[in-house]
Structure 1
Amino acid sequence: MTIDQTFSSLPPRTAPFAAAGVGGAATELRAVIEDAIVNSPRSLQKQIGPSEIGDPCDHCLAAKLAGWSKTDDGIPWLPFIGTSVHAELERILTDHEINRNALHTTGMRWLCENRVTVGQIGGVDISGSTDLFDTQAGATFDWKIVGESTLRKARSKGASAVYRIQAHLYGRGWVAAGHEVRDVAIWFLPRNDAAGITRGVLWHEPYDEQVALDALARANRLHANLTALASISAAARDQWITALPRDKDCWDCARYRDAPTTTADGETLDGLVLPVAAR
């Protein structure tokens, strides 16, 4: 095959533009952007992560552990904004460390977006990417890019249970990686306020491994129940998930389709299901 034949068989350098004007171009642009958002690694993640282990809703935590899919609720634009801010903060802080030649002088103080393993559920390692670890302060930092209502709650009540547990799980991950962790912190940053970081809310408390261990123990109890029920049938497992208590403030319950199911005649769940136990 000649060079001319090779090039003639290649696709065109640019895709054909069949639509009309700026409106057509905007339609194509939107399709590319939305496809990237929906198919990002964060959006496609299936295994439960540290950010979900502290979910106070037994039903939804069990559904996540069972691998249930949520109904499609459109393009996750707000999470995309948060992901974008995270990426830019990582760039800023990493550039700062590089510019002061940290690697060859004092060593890196601020470690951004490192993955740590926080524990196991059902014998499987659970890991997640931590936003920042300050090796000098011995503190983990997690950025939360939030709206005004969440900012107000953080200012008056501090971190929610799910955020607090996530912070201590990351702390445990850094300890397992060989670091000393003294504090865990969550920095709530406004998504819609022109004042920016000055209006943010910094929550922090001393690192407590027991917070992480209790959350992992609860998840492992649920996992054991799911495994026992799945040995009967998927229907038995799903029926149990549907009957679990639901947190009154849960956003995710409505995104799962809990079809009513029954076990086969004569089958009983008695003795198979371990108590979920108090948190």
Structure 2
Amino acid sequence: MSLDALDAAIAPTFKDELIGMLREFSDSRPRSLQTRLGPSELGHPCDKKMALALADAPRCNASAGDPLPSLLGSAGHSLMEQALAAYNETYGQRFLIEQKVSPLHPAEAFAGTMDCYDLHDDAVIDWKFAGARKMTDVRRDNDPGILYRTQAHVYALGCERTLGVEPKKVRIVFLPRAGFSTGAVVWEESYDRDRAEAAIDRVQALLLMVDDLRAVEHPERFDLFPTTPLQCEYCPFHRPQPTGPHECAGG
């Protein structure tokens, strides 16, 4: 094989370049650069993952997962923001959109940006742009999963304390990434302040344990935190064959 033919064979295709472009763009966004815990993570059942995150431990799996679903989700959230803003302008103020809230207001700990608050029925709304498998699971089980469910209630607590409103329900709207708006699934339940506060209390207790164990100075002590496998492939500390104390093989 000639050198020119060899160069052509190993040269990246446009698909390779595109994947790299999307990865680089995704990694540069503020959401990807964020390291502090937000409402979307407070319901994760794995104590070890939470402890490592609270300690701001070095990530070994920062590129976990394909960036496209997240990018499409961000685009979808932007679209919904525009659609609801147009509704407000035409029919009057109904929706509070993209509000930064903190469940520990005025402290900024665990703060996040709530998608929407519906003033008509005091509902906190969270948009999820889901793939086919997740859409099927939600339709079948009528269950958004512990992460999304806890996130919604923490946002509601943040709205209560930051915006001074009185949430009555949480509503998670699953919109299919491939499909039609008629295929959307709306899950909702009454706002449960106790659920939100329990999630925050748990994380604060883990933070105290990290401090008491001096785990930052003695990272081998992170192994004392129980591991509860859930979506390990997306965990920033996951490595199938760990090479250091900040890495976890998962379950």
Taking structure 1 as the reference length, what is the TM-score of the superposition? 0.73
Query: Which residue number in structure 2 is paired with residue 189 of structure 1?
Result: 175
Query: Which residue number in structure 2 is paired with residue 151 of structure 1?
Result: 135
| Structure-1 separation of matches of 2:74 and 2:56 | 23
What SS class does the counterpart of residue 118 from structure 1 fall into? coil
Query: Which residue number in structure 2 is paired with residue 114 of structure 1?
Result: 99
| Structure-1 separation of matches of 2:138 and 2:20 | 36
Aligned letter for 1:130? M
- Note if 1:45 corresponds to 2:38: no
Counting only pairs closer than 5 Å after superposition, residues 123-202 of structure 1 correspond to structure 2 as 125-157=109-141, 158-176=143-161, 177-193=163-179, 196-202=180-186
Give the superposition deviation at 1:246. 2.1
- Note if 1:248 corresponds to 2:248: no
| Structure-2 separation of matches of 1:254 and 1:131 | 25
What SS class does the counterpart of residue 55 from structure 1 fall into? coil
Give the superposition deviation at 1:260. 4.8
Give the superposition deviation at 1:250. 3.0
What SS class does the counterpart of residue 128 from structure 2 fall into? strand
What SS class does the counterpart of residue 109 from structure 2 fall into? strand
Query: Which residue number in structure 1 is paired with residue 80 of structure 2?
Result: 89
What SS class does the counterpart of residue 187 from structure 1 fall into? strand
| Structure-2 separation of matches of 1:91 and 1:129 | 16
Which ranges of structure 2 fall in alignment gaps of 5 or more residues? 1-11, 246-251
| Structure-2 separation of matches of 1:76 and 1:208 | 33
Counting only pairs closer than 5 Å after superposition, residues 220-239 of structure 1 correspond to structure 2 as 220-230=204-214, 234-236=216-218, 238-239=219-220
Aligned letter for 1:77? L
Give the superposition deviation at 1:247. 2.1
Query: Which residue number in structure 1 is paired with residue 249 of structure 2?
Result: none
Distance 1:70 1:118, change over 3 A: farther
Taking structure 2 as the reference length, what is the TM-score of the superposition? 0.80
| Structure-1 separation of matches of 2:13 and 2:175 | 36
* Percentage of identical aligned residues: 29
Distance 1:62 1:129, change over 3 A: same
| Structure-2 separation of matches of 1:54 and 1:93 | 28
What SS class does the counterpart of residue 209 from structure 2 fall into? helix
Distance 1:256 1:93, change over 3 A: same
Query: Which residue number in structure 1 is paired with residue 8 of structure 2?
Result: none
Output the aligned Cα RMSD: 2.6
What SS class does the counterpart of residue 104 from structure 2 fall into? strand
Say if 2:62 and 2:236, in contact at 8 Å, map to a contact too.
no
What SS class does the counterpart of residue 49 from structure 2 fall into? helix
| Structure-2 separation of matches of 1:133 and 1:60 | 30
What SS class does the counterpart of residue 175 from structure 2 fall into? strand
Say if 2:45 and 2:228, in contact at 8 Å, map to a contact too.
yes
Say if 1:186 and 1:204, in contact at 8 Å, map to a contact too.
yes
Give the superposition deviation at 1:243. 3.9
Give the superposition deviation at 1:73. 2.2
Say if 1:184 and 1:206, in contact at 8 Å, map to a contact too.
yes
Counting only pairs closer than 5 Å after superposition, residues 262-273 of structure 1 correspond to structure 2 as none
What's the CA shift string for 1:194-219, capped at 9, x where partnerless? xx221121110000100001101110
What SS class does the counterpart of residue 40 from structure 2 fall into? helix
Aligned letter for 2:53? K
Number of residue pairs matched by the alignment: 226
Distance 1:201 1:27, change over 3 A: closer
Q: Looking at CA atoms only, which structure, 1 or 2, has the larger radius of gyration? A: 1
